[in-house]
Chains A and B, each alone.
Chain A
Amino acid sequence: MHLTNTADTTVHAHQHTQTQPEVGVKSSKGTKPLRNPCNLCQSVRAILKRPKTGQQLCKECFYHVFETEIHNTIVDNKLFKKGDRVAIGASGGKDSTVLAYVMKLLNDRYNYGLDLVLLSIDEGITGYRDDSLETVKRNRDQYQIPLLIISYKDLYGWSMDDIVKEIGRKNNCTFCGVFRRQALDRGAIMLNVDHIVTGHNADDIAETVLMNILRGDLPRLQRCTSIITNDTSDDASGIETSKILRSKPFKYTYEKEIVMYAYFKKLDYFSTECIYSPNAYRGYARVFLKELEAIRRTAIVDIIHSGEALSASVQANESTKLPTMTNCTRCGYISSNELCKACLLLEGLNKGLPQLGIGHTTKIRRIHEAAANVAEGLSLSSTSLLSPTTALSGNGAESATVVTAVASSSTSSTLEERGKTVTHIKDLARLETMPSLQTTS
């Protein structure tokens, strides 16, 4: 198996240099009183202090507990069925790299019987994503998992670089986040997978729990701790995205341990923060969480436990019902409104009104509508007339996959809306003709 650890010797050598005073004891393996033995196996000298428990462990025991916890999470939550096709959301960062590695490892070790694929989103951020995607490509070769890269440029006609150029650094994360979510789903449909796994770790989830309490977002507080998130609500008919599950196998895995695992296994990952990601409010929560962890190392798990208990408390409350889901009248994507967020944001971008979809949509739309009516014959009224037909064609093609359904609706709409700015529906149709899997770099 190619997954065996080749970096053993080098790591050991590294440890030698790190813990100078104890080298002498360690090198003579025969001696009886082992100094600083591993808390679990008691037979090898411990080389690390486990962030989650504070136990002193040897490398092999650390790998064991790390992998077994993820396995337990997968098994206990019944994440997969045998034969599932699973896409690993891969950014090239530490979380997703370790996720790809561990998923492959566990799939082989425990015979999950999963068909794994890598799915990457190219936001088009020069100096960040282009480099990280190179890492993903290397991972594809190292782990022998096929890879599909979907770019914002192809899907929406805008790369993040373009968007930032247009709207500045403020709120660009809104675009990126909304677009990525949909892009992942689109990619999953193209790959025909049943499941997307993402590298969200325990720190991320604990942070989200805190954020949602601070923001007072009860529906999200309820959802954020569930390990499987699914776009299905019962009334979401026929739409293909609704069948794809999303899950976070790293839900109980500490970020520090992921870094530790990647470090000891010498995994190839890309570690640069997004250049467009300054975010004040979440930053507060993150710093707070790190300080909590420093005081009590179980704090992260404790917060997730609290979050799970709280989400049960929310459930009992009738007043916080989730909005009913429908399909976006323009692209067919699942949405709580007539237009999905991506279409709304895209409309704003294409019409030079990037504030659309951020803040008070109706107000901005009204202003925009008035302006557009005066300026040119092409106005929003025609779009609103168009919407029902698009919706109809979307619903009519229930049995077909969403890609073709959306494509057909997009062709009908583009016919009537000639001259209108590009929407991502059209681009999606173009994507269909793209090779579904890139096997060579």
Chain B
Amino acid sequence: MSCSIDEPTMTVAEKRAKARAVHVGFCCKCKTTRSTIIVRYAEYCDPCFLIALDSKFRTALRNARPYRVTNPENVMLAFSGGSSSRSLIHLFDVFHSLPPEVTSNKQQPKIYNDIHVCHVDESCLFEPSSLQTQIQSQGQNDSHSKEIKEEKLDGSTMEQARSIAAHYNYLFHGVRIEDIYDPEWADSHCFEAVATLVTSLPKDQLAISGEAPELLSHIHPMSPLSTSSGPPGLSSETTRRQKMSRQEKIAKLKALLAACTTLTAKETILGHIRSSLLAQLAKRADCTILALGDSATRVAIQIIGLTAIGRGFSLPHETSLESNWIQGCKVIRPLKDCLAKELDTLCRLSNLEVIEKHTARLGWTIQSKGEIKSIKQLTEEFIIGLDKDFPSTAATVCRTAAKLTPPDVQYQDKCPLCHGPVQAGVQEWKKRITVTTPPSRDDQETAKDFNDTCCSSTVGTSCCSNSNRSINSSSSCTQNSTKSHSTDEKPPLPFSSLLCYGCLTNLRDLNLKSMGSLNGDETSQFELPPYVAWTILDRVGYKSLEDYENAFVAKDTDVDPRESLREQIQEFLIASDSESEE
């Protein structure tokens, strides 16, 4: 069944190239100058290439947001430091700098009001060894590597990004990737809590069954005092309070990434954090439009990559020219028609300064030699390789996805981790096609109806995940956990059941040992950032952290809420201290 019907077809581009064959060696636009650049089948001279690229950008921008808009909006340009987003800033500048006669004309309305640039500094996750490969070969000691780590931390990309934005007189907003643990980057500003995960079953049982567990979550309030012990945090640009030291936040982020056993999972979670920060940055700067510098090559890689990790449902939102998914912030990708190589060429021709090392490559965090590639990297190689043999691959893939309509789902029901749309019934779907019950239950299995409970795989245990929208139904879980700590007396909130399919799949790569267990024998070794905690509470139906706290207090105890809060904080402090010492 491996053979298929494959017909030799000539693409439009190939046909055009044939028609152009008369001008071989000359620019296909002006036809007078010798060509210097070849894009797929077309040859250009430098000036014509720049004009062509600029008009491509303008067309896309106009399609993303029609010019005839009554009130001008603020736009946020996401700048990573790479050539694509660098081109985005440049092209926006060219687009927005009007000739003086137009500027003086008051009748001409502005298309965009203010242009902001934002940057996410990921330097804390850079590979520490780039300078020390020789040292490593000589057998390095720990203190030395730590020193170099510090050095690299200082070499952040923030200042470089700021100077580039300043060059255009654009407002600059910088944030460090670890700031995701700041309370202010949740949907409700200043949400001082993090979430931890527990497995619904004891670990030993899970190890035996080899089955992915049902995950539940706990919300832990963050201590306002937690920074006093640590060194004073380095002032990050947009933080108003100093809550947690930078080192603490980095430690938290690294603990989260360390809990992922695969590079794919690490990269995916980092991607969610990155886009969450970008959306928040745009919202806080009162920008109703967030422009991303995704090139056609990048979008094509995204499309295949997202498909491969099971994110087909949110794919239209994550790859389209314009997406209205995020409430109050429209995401546009005006470089979607330009190949990555074209943008590289633009940067070269226009002498645009890029930041050499700007995105965190997490390959170095993988200890075992088993997985050295992530699905994203593999997809990247695949698409780029295919593009060499079939030069229209990237364009074809992009065009395919452009015709997809996004699913009709409410933004309120977003996935806590990726903030993407959630498809109903994915767990059941998976359970039906991947049976994990032993044959002894065969008869029951046949009698079971279609709408199986989500816990059907966990043999003979109470179902915890049914506590979807009410905390009352999850009381059975708390009864089980007789040994629970005082902090864990709050009934656990659902987690797995709130996730989208892609995140559910991704979390299978979480190390079970790093998670807490329901009976309180073990505590979680990592925390999910406040934005996740906030979304969990929101999805479960609490309006705020206090709301959640009070509901718990009123239900279970008569203790003064402040008193119990302190208790929890103390517990939390000890736990986090011991963790950071490790």
> What residues of chain A have their CB less than 8 Å away from a CB belonging to chain B?
37-42, 52-56, 60-61, 64-65, 68-69, 72-73, 76, 91, 93, 95, 110, 171, 173-174, 176-178, 199-200, 204, 209-218, 221, 252, 273-274, 276-277, 279-282, 284, 286, 288, 291-292, 295-296, 298-299, 301-303, 305-310, 312-314, 316-317, 319-320, 358-359
Which of B118-126, B208-216, B483-491 contacts the other chain? Answer: B208-216
Which of B6-14, B176-184, B232-240 contacts the other chain? Answer: B6-14
In the assembled complex, the CB of B120 is this many whole angstroms from the nearest CB of chain A, namely: 26
In the assembled complex, the CB of B389 is this many whole angstroms from the nearest CB of chain A, namely: 8
Question: Which residues of chain A are within 8 angstroms of B400 by Cβ–Cβ distance?
Answer: 212-213, 216-218, 221
Q: Would you give 17 A-B contacts (Cβ < 8 Å), ordered by A? A: A55-B211, A64-B439, A69-B432, A72-B435, A171-B7, A174-B7, A204-B1, A214-B304, A214-B386, A215-B396, A252-B433, A280-B389, A281-B4, A282-B6, A292-B375, A302-B505, A309-B312
Whether B316 pairs with A302 at a CB distance below 8 angstroms is: no
Which chain B residues (308-363) contact chain A, with CB distance < 8 Å? Answer: 308-313, 315-316
Question: Which residues of chain B are within 8 angstroms of A281 by Cβ–Cβ distance?
Answer: 4, 6, 390
Which of B440-448, B535-543, B561-569 contacts the other chain? Answer: B440-448
Whether B262 pairs with A279 at a CB distance below 8 angstroms is: no
Whether A64 pairs with B438 at a CB distance below 8 angstroms is: yes
Q: Does B551 contact A (CB under 8 A)?
A: no
In the assembled complex, the CB of A301 is this many whole angstroms from the nearest CB of chain B, namely: 7
Whether A313 pairs with B407 at a CB distance below 8 angstroms is: yes
B363-399: CB near A (< 8 Å → 1, else 0) gives 0000000010111001100100110011001001101
Whether B378 pairs with A65 at a CB distance below 8 angstroms is: no
> What's the Cα separation between A211 and B400 when bound, in Å?
12
Whether B407 pairs with A312 at a CB distance below 8 angstroms is: yes
Contact of A303 among B1, B8, B307, B426 (CB under 8 A): B307
Q: Does B71 contact A (CB under 8 A)?
A: no
Whether B386 pairs with A284 at a CB distance below 8 angstroms is: yes
Whether A310 pairs with B404 at a CB distance below 8 angstroms is: yes
Whether B315 pairs with A310 at a CB distance below 8 angstroms is: yes
Q: Does B495 contact A (CB under 8 A)?
A: no
Whether A95 pairs with B1 at a CB distance below 8 angstroms is: yes
- Chain A's closest residue to B452 (CB) is A72
Contact of A302 among B308, B374, B393 (CB under 8 A): B308
A65-B262 CB under 8 A given contacts A39-B210, A56-B210: no
Interchain residue pairs A-B with the least CB separation, the first 7: A306-B312, A302-B310, A40-B438, A309-B312, A64-B439, A252-B433, A55-B210
In the assembled complex, the CB of B62 is this many whole angstroms from the nearest CB of chain A, namely: 20
Which chain B residues (1-33) contact chain A, with CB distance < 8 Å? Answer: 1-9
Whether B208 pairs with A42 at a CB distance below 8 angstroms is: yes
Q: Does B508 contact A (CB under 8 A)?
A: yes
Question: Which residues of chain B are within 8 angstroms of A302 by Cβ–Cβ distance?
Answer: 308-310, 501-502, 505
Question: Which residues of chain A are within 8 angstroms of B502 by Cβ–Cβ distance?
Answer: 302
Question: Which residues of chain B are within 8 angstroms of A199 by Cβ–Cβ distance?
Answer: 1
In the assembled complex, the CB of A18 is this many whole angstroms from the nearest CB of chain B, namely: 20
A214-B304, A313-B405 known; 13 other A-B pairs, CB under 8 Å? Answer: A53-B211, A65-B435, A178-B5, A213-B401, A214-B396, A216-B396, A279-B6, A295-B371, A301-B430, A303-B308, A306-B311, A307-B307, A359-B7
A41-B439 CB under 8 A given contacts A173-B5, A303-B310: yes
> What's the Cα separation between A212 and B397 when bound, in Å?
9
- Chain A's closest residue to B311 (CB) is A306
Whether A310 pairs with B439 at a CB distance below 8 angstroms is: no
A173-B210 CB under 8 A given contacts A214-B397, A359-B8: no
Question: Which residues of chain B are within 8 angstroms of A54 by Cβ–Cβ distance?
Answer: 210
- Chain B's closest residue to A315 (CB) is B405
> What's the Cα separation between A100 and B59 when bound, in Å?
56
- Chain B's closest residue to A281 (CB) is B6
In the assembled complex, the CB of B16 is this many whole angstroms from the nearest CB of chain A, namely: 17
Q: Does B411 contact A (CB under 8 A)?
A: no
> What's the Cα separation between A107 and B105 when bound, in Å?
80
**Which of A176, A298, A309, A313 is the most central at the interface, judged by chain B CB atoms within 10 Å of its CB?**
A309
> What's the Cα separation between A199 and B9 when bound, in Å?
29
Whether B303 pairs with A213 at a CB distance below 8 angstroms is: yes
> What's the Cα separation between A279 and B306 when bound, in Å?
26
> What's the Cα separation between A56 and B306 when bound, in Å?
29
Whether B6 pairs with A64 at a CB distance below 8 angstroms is: no
Whether B3 pairs with A53 at a CB distance below 8 angstroms is: no
Whether A306 pairs with B315 at a CB distance below 8 angstroms is: yes
Question: Which residues of chain B are within 8 angstroms of A69 by Cβ–Cβ distance?
Answer: 432-435
Whether B438 pairs with A295 at a CB distance below 8 angstroms is: no
Whether B7 pairs with A305 at a CB distance below 8 angstroms is: no
Contact of B3 among A37, A177, A217, A288 (CB under 8 A): A177
- Chain B's closest residue to A55 (CB) is B210
Whether A310 pairs with B405 at a CB distance below 8 angstroms is: no
Question: Which residues of chain B are within 8 angstroms of A41 by Cβ–Cβ distance?
Answer: 438-440
Question: Which residues of chain A are within 8 angstroms of B309 by Cβ–Cβ distance?
Answer: 296, 299, 302
Question: Which residues of chain A are within 8 angstroms of B509 by Cβ–Cβ distance?
Answer: 296
Whether A306 pairs with B397 at a CB distance below 8 angstroms is: no
Whether B405 pairs with A72 at a CB distance below 8 angstroms is: no
Contact of B4 among A214, A279, A308 (CB under 8 A): A279
Q: Does B406 contact A (CB under 8 A)?
A: yes
> What's the Cα separation between A399 and B429 when bound, in Å?
42
> What's the Cα separation between A78 and B561 when bound, in Å?
55
> What's the Cα separation between A110 and B445 when bound, in Å?
12
In the assembled complex, the CB of A292 is this many whole angstroms from the nearest CB of chain B, namely: 5
Contact of A309 among B262, B407, B430 (CB under 8 A): B407
- Chain A's closest residue to B459 (CB) is A40
Whether A177 pairs with B4 at a CB distance below 8 angstroms is: yes
> What's the Cα separation between A282 and B5 when bound, in Å?
10
Question: Which residues of chain B are within 8 angstroms of A320 by Cβ–Cβ distance?
Answer: 403
- Chain B's closest residue to A300 (CB) is B308
Question: Which residues of chain A are within 8 angstroms of B375 by Cβ–Cβ distance?
Answer: 292, 295-296, 299
Contact of A295 among B264, B393, B429, B432 (CB under 8 A): B264
Whether A177 pairs with B5 at a CB distance below 8 angstroms is: yes
> What's the Cα separation between A200 and B4 when bound, in Å?
13
Whether A60 pairs with B439 at a CB distance below 8 angstroms is: yes
> What's the Cα separation between A110 and B443 when bound, in Å?
11
- Chain B's closest residue to A41 (CB) is B438
Whether A213 pairs with B307 at a CB distance below 8 angstroms is: yes
> What's the Cα separation between A134 and B213 when bound, in Å?
47
Whether B262 pairs with A296 at a CB distance below 8 angstroms is: yes
In the assembled complex, the CB of B457 is this many whole angstroms from the nearest CB of chain A, namely: 10
In the assembled complex, the CB of A206 is this many whole angstroms from the nearest CB of chain B, namely: 9
Contact of A359 among B9, B210, B389 (CB under 8 A): B9
Which chain B residues (220-242) contact chain A, with CB distance < 8 Å? Answer: none
> What's the Cα separation between A331 and B434 when bound, in Å?
43
- Chain A's closest residue to B508 (CB) is A298
> What's the Cα separation between A212 and B371 when bound, in Å?
28
Which chain B residues (97-120) contact chain A, with CB distance < 8 Å? Answer: none
Whether B315 pairs with A40 at a CB distance below 8 angstroms is: no
Question: Which residues of chain B are within 8 angstroms of A274 by Cβ–Cβ distance?
Answer: 2-3
- Chain A's closest residue to B212 (CB) is A53
Contact of B406 among A60, A291, A313 (CB under 8 A): A313
Question: Which residues of chain B are within 8 angstroms of A39 by Cβ–Cβ distance?
Answer: 208-211
**Which of A52, A214, A284 is the most central at the interface, judged by chain B CB atoms within 10 Å of its CB?**
A214
Q: Does B423 contact A (CB under 8 A)?
A: yes
> What's the Cα separation between A310 and B405 when bound, in Å?
9
Q: Does B480 contact A (CB under 8 A)?
A: no
Question: Which residues of chain A are within 8 angstroms of B440 by Cβ–Cβ distance?
Answer: 41
Whether B435 pairs with A277 at a CB distance below 8 angstroms is: no
Which chain B residues (243-264) contact chain A, with CB distance < 8 Å? Answer: 262, 264
Whether B3 pairs with A76 at a CB distance below 8 angstroms is: no
In the assembled complex, the CB of B462 is this many whole angstroms from the nearest CB of chain A, namely: 20
Whether A298 pairs with B310 at a CB distance below 8 angstroms is: yes
In the assembled complex, the CB of B435 is this many whole angstroms from the nearest CB of chain A, namely: 4
Question: Which residues of chain A are within 8 angstroms of B406 by Cβ–Cβ distance?
Answer: 313
Whether A213 pairs with B7 at a CB distance below 8 angstroms is: no
Question: Which residues of chain B are within 8 angstroms of A110 by Cβ–Cβ distance?
Answer: 446
A313-B438 CB under 8 A given contacts A174-B6, A177-B3: no
Question: Which residues of chain A are within 8 angstroms of B316 by Cβ–Cβ distance?
Answer: 313
Q: Does B523 contact A (CB under 8 A)?
A: no
